[in-house]
Structure 1
């Protein structure tokens, strides 16, 4: 079986589009060897649905999932999700990912219903929503000289706006948001590896602590935002200015401030309060964003420390630095 391919602008950070031969991908190919057409047994399958805005990087995300050992189908209509999952479940597919694109005006409700049906059948679907800012999407489409699938006879921005509205429902139900506005393909890979490269084991909660600079805008995929600008700025010390919050001298300066310790202690207590609630509600991914002016000194040091403290609490946490190197 070969699924139809996606739109040409569908890359993260302006990367190349999927080739026409990329319809079905994964470590297995064809019909699973163990398939018994007469069998009605369908053991639970881990299912990841990758969806989101055209041009934001869904196909790139799908290729990462393939590299991580998932059986990936590109551009699968929502109505075929359950049949494909059950087909794989009757063979040897236990980790199935589908890249789902806009197909009709009923796309969002169709996909939401398909996910509910999967859950009702005993499978474990998760939704990854890939998005980017409007100006980034416009730039990517213009560089690829392609039309947006919902553009029609209107402007490119009209198609992007229409798609955002169409995806409102599924975006609100997504388990993981991935903002590729300021992300290259290597950072996209790191994000998905942190969430899914676990040999089939799904941890109760995975945390990403993301440093950023307020002057470059708030991260759209943050669940919690912390402002580190109350601490003295190492930028104004000539001996520290060239360094970053990952360097020991800057880290020691930031964490050695009188208010830094109490702030970290109290916010760690807040996280201890929130995490059990997130787990009870089935939340599997948490993004804690830590900001300073430029995302180079204070936010980086604080983000690294928060990640260390979360790991000490038994949470799988990683620090990422969105704006490091932009100055």
Structure 2
């Protein structure tokens, strides 16, 4: 998932504004994305995806240089600027939070993408690359990961979008970021990811809302359905045709109708609704697909993603 570091890079500027009058002292607001998170979780890969989407991307940017770089870009022809910021910039956590507040006060639109993964996944990635963690020092690898998690607590809590790469390949990471950012420079009011998962594999760490579909009969115990998934019409019809399924969907969509306007008023741009069943193969998949369809009908840009499908 990780990629080799870059000192600086730029993607194609397909959607740019005219250059400013150099005599002007005002700068137009810029779309700004700050990619941060755990070392080894895929920040550089996320930066490369944004670069491919037409964002100007700078890697390993110290927080203190965020505003000067944004203002410099705004005086040129940039409209979308992204920076990968991590613990390689030693004065990091509090400085980054302050830099983001300064950007907001200057009228720009900073969004924070927090990329993370489970400890055992990070350990496996570091061991496969035979690299040391930047905060490991004389301790163990897990010591470095724990120290970084503690350092990131503040900015993680303020992030606009959490991306858990534990079970994502690079193509799935790309799809996640494209769903959030590849909209021809237009930011949707709210983008929803409806994720199915299996409780036996653990809760998704990046879920805003969690729904339990285990109250419905399990197609696993129906021999002719066992090998199929919730994407197959026969399983979908079985799950959605159960007593209480339609009422559950109707009432939860009513709840979402109350929540979504509030999220929009508060400036929340991303929502992850996680739907779980035992193994993440049948009930949660069918329900997640239906939730995504219904959210789309409500005017929310929604996509279904199935974390544990095919894992058995």
Give yes or no for the alignment of 1:55 onto 2:28. Answer: no
CA distance, structure 2, for counterparts of residue 203 and residue 236 of structure 1: 41
Task: Give the match for residue 175 of structure 1.
Answer: 160
Deviations 1:102-154 (A, max 9, x none): 14564110000100110111100000000001111011000000000000010
For residues 88 and 267 of structure 2, the distance between their equivalents in structure 1, rounded to whole angstroms, comes to: 29
Unaligned runs of 5+ in 2: none
Shift of 1:276: 1.1
* Alpha-carbon separation, structure 1, partners of 2:22 and 2:135: 39
**Is 2:94 the counterpart of 1:94?**
no
Tell me the distance in 2 between the aligned counterparts of 1:72 and 1:24: 5
1:4 maps to what in 2?
Answer: none
Once the 2 structures are TM-superposed, how far is the Cα of residue 261 of structure 1 from its aligned partner?
Answer: 0.6
Contact kept, 8 Å, 2:29 with 2:74, in 1: the verdict is: yes
1:78 equivalent among 31, 38, 63 = 63
Other-structure match for 1:296: 281
CA contact (8 A) 2:60 2:88 kept: no
Question: Does the Cα contact within 8 Å between 1:136 and 1:181 map onto a contact in 2?
Answer: yes
- The yes-or-no answer on 1:306 pairing with 2:295 is no
* 1:241, distance to aligned residue in structure 2 (A): 0.8
Q: Is the 8 A contact 1:105 1:166 kept in 2?
A: no
TM-score, normalising length from structure 1? 0.92
Counterpart of 2:140 in structure 1 is 155
Tell me whether 1:274 sits opposite 2:259 in the alignment: yes
1:5 paired residue number: none
Aligned with 2:214 (options 210, 220, 229):
229
Residues 260-298 of structure 1: CA distance to partner in whole angstroms, max 9, x if unpaired? 011111111111111111111111100000000110000
| Cα distance between partner residues in 2 of 1:48 and 1:222 | 21
Return 5+ residue gaps in structure 1 as ranges.
1-11
How many residue pairs align between the two structures?
A: 309
* Aligned alpha-carbon RMSD (Å): 1.5
Moved over 3 A (4+): 32-39, 103-106
Contact 2:220/2:282, CA 8 A, preserved across alignment? yes
| CA distance in 1 between partners of 2:90 and 2:68 (Å) | 22
CA distance in 1, matches of 2:90, 2:162: 22
**Is the counterpart of residue 127 in structure 1 residue 116 in structure 2?**
no
Task: Name the CA distance, whole Å, in 2 between partners of 1:208 and 1:321.
Answer: 10
Q: Which residue in 2 is equivalent to 1:254? A: 239
